[in-house]
A and B are shown apart, each in its own frame.
Chain A
């Protein structure tokens, strides 16, 4: 196919012609494809992650290469902005070069051409009509949507028609719209902040410190032109600042108003899925006589002047927690009371060291998919594990263990357990211990039992009472009890594995199996004996026949005791009570470019429809006075296959009107 716009002949050779290059279609398509490829990279490579994560993924070398190419922040990379800028310039040049011609073309009826020129149009027929009435012809063309002009030639008359000239506006609108949208986007970008950073009077804060300690260099005044940031505000609290993510840290944005959060709510569907998030806000500003009160929800923001306040997330706002701390090595069942709240740090001194406890989060609901069995039972797809706390325990050296403890027991295989999860790195999932609940769905029995095992004197006495010397002399019996006690200590410290490795290290190989079996046997006997004494103390128990529940409980407790040595610092935090205080995550934007972008988008949509659904067509009826012939000629700016058909149909209609002289 020939190029449809051959008019633009190159003027000067040799020298690079910048304007034609900038406005060239080749450059435009290249830029479009470059943008597309950059965008692909931006979605395939996770953006704005912590540097460590990249190094783990790609190794130090490639991380370095990728980073210097800006691939971890593609959409902010200098080259990306440059491509955008070029697109802007290129489109600008293109429009400014083409638009005048197009505008002129819109008015071109070409009614002044010679008869011969019409005969050489892409569509053309010449015949001798029986009669030709220009007025009738004009009317017919007008009915078909053509605008018509008449022109008297020396040798006859031309009726020139044109329609669909708005198609040309389509080109102008689409391309201007791209420029408008880019400008709107630039208005909302952080270019001004970047400039301030370059001149050195702005530096993002990278530590997490209280607001008061953030240096002035990381603050941005409310004169900032555009921003988009977030702030978490607890129920009953207020805020007049916002945090803007910036580079690898953040900036503090001063707001010209204050927002009080009265309440935050989550509504749930009956499946347990969240249905709605809502915050009751009160906005006060010096220029407001009355504060604005509004409830915002997802998809229903609060607009104030050129600011918009969105419901974007939620979290804990410092819920009050009443805890019982169980030292896992204690010899008596006497937990400590602790009253604290989320985001607080407490310290505990134990015989094995001093620990800092950082309370990070409280969750009222923990909704997880239900097991198949439970689904069949209740018909519900989701399961609520109830309230939980997340906290870290840190020792003197700074090593931290993170825990997730649930407040209420959860049913598994028909039994009730208190779940407690532990991990030493946030990259890992929690590994859970399941502390078996007693018949009162509590943990009393577990800690009675544990503290008994922890206490050598009580253990000794209990075993002494329960296991009288039978058939052996007193000395052997005492030896056996002592051994049991030592085995129990070993078990408490390292589980059954500890006993096995003790045997492997201290017993000749040929004896190992026998000794190990004996030791494990003795340990189990001791543990069972102690368990019975705990049951005895509960009084309600019938010791003649141990119930299924109690047997099962013992087995479940064994699983826990066996792995308790891997649980980290010997502390268990039992959540007794809480007062739930939530915080709402607000996103606040000042986006002066938004309306510009919307305006550009509207132009774009209109333009695209003009381009595709209006076809610019020209038609000429040229009457030749000499030969009494009529030439009908047509030309579409962008011919399509139907152009020919439409032309023929029109010719038939005209011929039906004028008749054809044979």
Chain B
């Protein structure tokens, strides 16, 4: 009798099943393969990162099962790209000629696909919301997933391509402003999709995908106007295993903060409309104010936690690259400003119990501060952070 109850209680945590076994086996196999082929080229930290990533990914696949098909799709398409390159003697130039690469999975094509899918997804989310169509909203979710897959395929293939152009250039694509924008778009979408599932609502998708679309717009401008998509070798300061963990951790933070701000905007709109007409269709279709408020808190908490990790890792890296863990360099200082801002936000909410509109406004302003730390510093202030000047 107890077992039935347990099953009911543990609706969130599925028991270990075949699916998890396959997942774990494939992750282990993949990691072993990576170690077998590239192990001789890795230093001890990189092997540590590989092991850590494998463990994290196994856990993460169980914690959030939807990441499993996402990972499979990314892996298959990336392998298709790599296989096509291998078929063509690993010449980078075939990205323009080989069919699969040219139209689907060369990093440039994949990123263009990602851009298109994210924009379409934004449109579809709003279409579903205003057209009151559940199936359109569902399709929007699918598009968002597909866009994320193409984005991560783009990054994986770009990683490979950087070695094809010249083994000297090879590096994980998280080192230029162009590359981190892709990371931002994918990260933000994935974090949103996670909460979309948890909250069982798609009504906020359009709002969140709006900021993803904005980053796509920047990306396209950066590609076509500045040619930023070209793969460049790394400057010496960026050649560090720290970069591989510092940057992604940072972007969990940026992504989560952006979602909080977009939810904040949705909150303010709904609150405004509710005052006028609490029974309007739009208000009815949007999540309750309370749950949006809660989502803001959860995303800011998530962002804060990862941003803390990223800043600490950044300090450790700085200690190794510049000889000091803290130099009051503009990028560092702005990271601190962002961090202090959200610390204050969390304090006010946790201890003063503030809720609602002021916190939503604050989350929106927080995004302005975050955007400045992310982009503005590179554009307007000079410092030791040498990557990605516009």
Interface residues of A (CB under 8 A from B): 1-5, 25, 28-29, 32-33, 35-36, 39-40, 42-44, 47, 75, 136, 139-140, 143-144, 185, 228, 269-271, 273-277, 297-301, 308, 310, 312, 587-589, 591, 594, 597-598, 601-602, 604-605, 608-609, 612-613, 638, 640-641, 649-650, 652-653, 656-657
Contacts and interface: CB of A to CB of B under 8 A. Distances in A.
Contact of A276 (B236, B242, B312): B236
Contact of B315 (A136, A601, A656): A601
Nearest to A642: B294
Nearest to B7: A653
Given A75-B328, A641-B290, A298 B236 contact: yes
Given A29-B344, A275-B168, A299 B325 contact: no
Please report whether the interface of chain B is mostly helix, strand, loop or mixed according to DSSP: helix
Query: Which 10 A-B pairs give the minimum distances between C-beta atoms?
Result: A1-B353, A587-B323, A310-B323, A298-B236, A601-B312, A43-B330, A612-B301, A36-B340, A299-B240, A269-B233
Nearest to A144: B9
Interface of B: 1-2, 4-6, 8-9, 11, 166, 168-169, 232-233, 235-237, 239-240, 242, 290-291, 294, 301-302, 304-305, 308-309, 312, 315-316, 319-326, 328, 330, 333-334, 336-337, 340-341, 343-344, 347-348, 350-355, 377, 381
A1 B355 contact: yes
23 contacts: A5-B351, A28-B347, A29-B344, A33-B344, A143-B9, A269-B169, A273-B233, A275-B236, A310-B323, A312-B323, A589-B323, A591-B324, A594-B325, A612-B301, A641-B290, A641-B294, A649-B11, A653-B6, A653-B9, A656-B5, A656-B8, A657-B2, A657-B5
Contact of B5 (A25, A140, A270, A641): A140
B34 to A, nearest CB: 23
A564 B330 CA distance: 44
A609 B381 contact: no
B5 A29 contact: no
Nearest to A586: B323
Given A601-B315, A605-B312, A273 B235 contact: yes
A80 B150 CA distance: 47
Contact of A298 (B2, B239, B354): B239
Nearest to A35: B340
A638 B353 CA distance: 10
Given A299-B321, A594-B325, A638-B350, A612 B305 contact: yes
Contacts of A47: 328
Contacts, number: 154
Contact of B344 (A32, A271, A310, A604): A32
A265 to B, nearest CB: 12
A594 B326 CA distance: 10
A44 B344 contact: no
Contacts of A144: 9
B2 A308 contact: no
B324 A228 contact: yes
B317 to A, nearest CB: 8
Given A301-B320, A587-B323, A604 B333 contact: no
Given A36-B341, A608-B308, A656 B4 contact: yes
A601 B169 CA distance: 33
Contacts of A36: 336-337, 340-341, 344
Contacts of B6: 143, 653
Given A42-B333, A604-B312, A297 B9 contact: no
Contacts of B168: 269-270, 275
Given A1-B353, A29-B347, A299-B240, A40 B235 contact: no
A597 B334 contact: no
A653 B236 contact: no
B242 to A, nearest CB: 8
A298 B237 contact: yes
Contacts of A75: 328
Contact of B322 (A270, A275, A310, A594): A310
